[in-house]
Amino acid sequence: DQSFHVIVESSLDVLKGGKRQPLQLDNCFGEMRYLTKLKPTASITANRDMTVMRSNANMMEGTSVT
């Protein structure tokens, strides 16, 4: 699945290279995989229930400005 997510409500932690970094409202995750098509390089852990907006190529094509 080639998509990325934007945090709409709540927060989460990203674990990469043994370091934990918090992400808050309006931050995104999965964008590097979406852009590079490489395997994931980090793990995501939700701190509590959350709402995210999932975006993929089809959605992006439908919102392009010409």
What are the φ and ψ backbone dihedral angles of 59, each rounded to 5 degrees? -65, -40
| pLDDT (0 to 100) of residue 61 | 67
> In this structure, is the dihedral angle defined by the CA atoms of residues 37, 40, 42 and 48, taken in order, positive or negative?
positive
Residue 1: name the closest of 39, 28, 48 by CA: 39
The pTM for the full model equals 0.75
Residues of the chain under the 50 pLDDT cut: none
